[in-house]
Structure 1
Amino acid sequence: MNEYAIAFDVGGLFIKSAVLSSHGNVCKDTMVIYPAKAKEEKEKLLEHFVSIIQQQINKINDKWFKVFGIGFAFPGPFDYENGISYIRGIDKFEHIYGVNLREELMERLGSQPGLKKKLSPNYRIVFDNDANLFALGELLSGKAKTYAKSMCVTIGTGTGSAFIEHGLLVKERSDVPENGWIYNTPFEASIIDDYISKRGIMRLAAEQGLPSGLDVKELAELSRSGHEGAAAVFHQFGTNMGRAFLPLIDAFQPEAVIIGGQIAKSHDLFGRAFLEQLQGVTLQIEYVEQTSHSTFVGVSKLLRLAMDQDSEQSEGSERLDKLS
């Protein structure tokens, strides 16, 4: 019987999901973008997660199968080990603050017989930081694979980050911020997250007198069409990015900075200004177009590690039983 996993890449506006084979490959025609419904009440949001799981399972083109795991790439703050969200103050996912998502989801999945029979008896639900999983995916099958030391960044509604050295995440060391998270690093009048993000671009657009209703994609199209104000927005964004990242690069000394997230798709507009701030620094800049694909690969690996850990603990218990 074949085994599959369901992967979630959770954002403030959208949830991207895919079915993964037991080898970590994204199954054909299963990558779907759903609305995040991040402002919904707890019950409606949990129902939404369960509905996505059901819809994704329905996409599995296999007669005999089980789902061995469900993995979530979730932004923080979040207790990833226990599956508890601590996001608040940003008008997204407020109603699941302090909620144990693992317990709540397992309870709901177990109460639906048609869904329950598709799940392996020992299936796992796991969570980790979205930037960590992106970095893990890049390390396994992406651009970080060729470097011994890299700084991975995702830029979207906020700034996600992870630092990799010799195949391991570096979280607690003097040359990286705490947890490897750069979002709350002081920068200018606030923190990096307020500048190197969608809202950072929106603020620059407002300063240029551009209409407030434009999104980043529309601003990028304006810039590519020759609009000077829109071009100035991305040039300043790249400058800010270089100035914000330079101290972090100087401290960690990566061989490469690997950049993903929705805003990375506009690197043709801000990349030159970014590099101008890094003159004299020897490193490679790599942009990733399919961030979620790398994140899904990371989710698959996380699930396998969790399953292996369960297996080791089970074997240890059996040995103890025989000794007693």
Structure 2
Amino acid sequence: MPPHLPTVLTLDAGGTNFVFSAIRDFKQIVEPVTLPAEPNDLEKCIATIIHGFDQISEKVSPVDAISFAFPGPANYELGIIENLPNFKAFNGSVPLGPILQNRFEVPVYINNDGDLFASGVARIVLPELNSRLRTAGSKKQFYNLIGLTLGTGFGCGIVINGQLLTGDNSNAAGIHNTLNYSNSKWNAEESVSTRAIQRVYAERAGLSFDARLMPKEIYQIAKGHKEGNVGAALQAFFEYGKGLGNSISNILTLVDGLVVLGGGLSASWDLFSPSMFNEIHRKYENFKGENMDRLSVKVFNLEDPTVFNQFAQGEIKQVAISGTDKTIEYDAMPRTGIALSKIDASLMTSLGAYAFVLQKSDK
């Protein structure tokens, strides 16, 4: 008998709308339901969440779990949501998970979106990459992953040997709050976010900051498809890439794994990736002025098909074993790569929510 494939209700909790769906076997099995989020009224917001899951549960049966991403800060393990800047309704400790578990009588798992994006990528992208490597005759395989979401803010999730790293305080992978590369008074997100692109464009164009001018429009200006200051637009994405490259370098010193980018701003890859890779590949200096590599691994651009063969093959060497006539083969090129998710970040997050249920079931 084949193993039971759980049916999991999911929610994409945006600040304007809540989008509800259901996943089975990593496939969306119903037409999503969209409802207004009601971010400023707790009673209405929770009622909306219950109503949305009610509508989806009427279309699928039985339901095995509810799993979704929700903004923090939160104690995700207990399902308690704290004060949320973009959801004024959550002004204090709200036991959202227990409320839903009591109502639907199934396990409820809540995580942040960066964690669930990474969880989905680990289930979808890593197996595909490892299969490509085997097909190319490579023995190299990847088991660890850093997922980064690039959008309004800067999110991160880390998967180690198939297990999502959640931490002891539901606070793992908070890359957004690491030190900013250009201003020690800022966190990293001030240079890797929508507002960062808006800020640099305004500064370089000699304009007042305008939150209405979105990165997509600044991208169009940079490409010459929309009227505006082309140089300022290009500089905005250049600075974004530097900030992102610095953060990627820092996390790669701690987590030895593949990096996958998703989210709306990842569509601007052609403008920010050159400065991102320049920052990753730049040298450190010691106090004597001597250069040294910033990272101990070679970082490949996996969006460039011309480098995949080198990435796959590495640098195979035969080393003699002293006192014998034997040799041992090893790959002398420590390496990783950076790739783009080909699946929409919202859907990937839902797939990650499903993967998290499977991870909990495996335990």
- Tell me the TM-score normalised to structure 2 length: 0.69
Q: CA separation of 1:2/1:81 partners in 2, compared to 1, >3 Å: closer, same or farther?
A: closer
Q: CA separation of 1:230/1:291 partners in 2, compared to 1, >3 Å: closer, same or farther?
A: same
How do 1:272-283 residues align onto structure 2 when only pairs under 5 Å count? 272-279=274-281, 282-283=298-299
Do 1:11 and 1:75's aligned partners in 2 also have CA atoms closer than 8 Å? no
- AA matched with 2:338: I
Alpha-carbon distance between aligned partners in 2 of 1:139 and 1:269, rounded to the nearest angstrom: 26
Q: CA separation of 1:72/1:242 partners in 2, compared to 1, >3 Å: closer, same or farther?
A: same
- Is residue 208 of structure 2 the alignment partner of residue 184 of structure 1? no
Residue 46 of structure 2 is matched in structure 1 by: 46
Alpha-carbon distance between aligned partners in 2 of 1:205 and 1:144, rounded to the nearest angstrom: 39
- AA matched with 1:223: A
Residue 146 of structure 2 is matched in structure 1 by: 151
Residue 199 of structure 2 is matched in structure 1 by: 203
- Tell me the TM-score normalised to structure 1 length: 0.76
Alpha-carbon distance between aligned partners in 2 of 1:191 and 1:56, rounded to the nearest angstrom: 39
- Corresponding residue SS for 2:146: strand
Q: CA separation of 1:222/1:303 partners in 2, compared to 1, >3 Å: closer, same or farther?
A: same
Alpha-carbon distance between aligned partners in 2 of 1:31 and 1:269, rounded to the nearest angstrom: 33
Q: CA separation of 1:218/1:264 partners in 2, compared to 1, >3 Å: closer, same or farther?
A: same
Q: CA separation of 1:198/1:212 partners in 2, compared to 1, >3 Å: closer, same or farther?
A: closer
- AA matched with 1:10: A
How do 1:1-324 residues align onto structure 2 when only pairs under 5 Å count? 4-21=7-24, 23-27=25-29, 30-31=31-32, 35-38=36-39, 40-57=40-57, 60=59, 65-88=61-84, 90-106=85-101, 109=103, 122-143=105-126, 146=130, 147-170=142-165, 179-187=172-180, 188=183, 189-207=185-203, 208=205, 209=207, 211-225=210-224, 227-254=230-257, 256-279=258-281, 282-283=298-299, 284-289=337-342, 290-306=344-360
Q: CA separation of 1:243/1:171 partners in 2, compared to 1, >3 Å: closer, same or farther?
A: same
Q: Which moved more, 1:193-202 or 1:243-252?
A: 243-252
Q: CA deviation at 1:94?
A: 4.5
Over aligned residue pairs, what C-alpha RMSD do you find? 2.9
Do 1:184 and 1:191's aligned partners in 2 also have CA atoms closer than 8 Å? yes
- Corresponding residue SS for 1:142: helix
Q: CA deviation at 1:273?
A: 1.6
Q: How many pairs does the alignment contain?
A: 284
Alpha-carbon distance between aligned partners in 2 of 1:37 and 1:66, rounded to the nearest angstrom: 28
Q: CA separation of 1:27/1:93 partners in 2, compared to 1, >3 Å: closer, same or farther?
A: farther
Q: CA deviation at 1:106?
A: 4.4
- Corresponding residue SS for 2:9: strand
Identity of aligned residues (%): 23
Q: CA deviation at 1:20?
A: 0.9
- AA matched with 2:281: Q
Q: CA separation of 1:91/1:152 partners in 2, compared to 1, >3 Å: closer, same or farther?
A: closer
Do 1:206 and 1:212's aligned partners in 2 also have CA atoms closer than 8 Å? no
Q: Which has the larger radius of gyration?
A: 2
Residue 135 of structure 2 is matched in structure 1 by: none
Q: CA deviation at 1:143?
A: 4.1
Do 1:242 and 1:278's aligned partners in 2 also have CA atoms closer than 8 Å? yes
- AA matched with 1:277: E
Q: CA separation of 1:246/1:302 partners in 2, compared to 1, >3 Å: closer, same or farther?
A: closer
- AA matched with 2:117: F
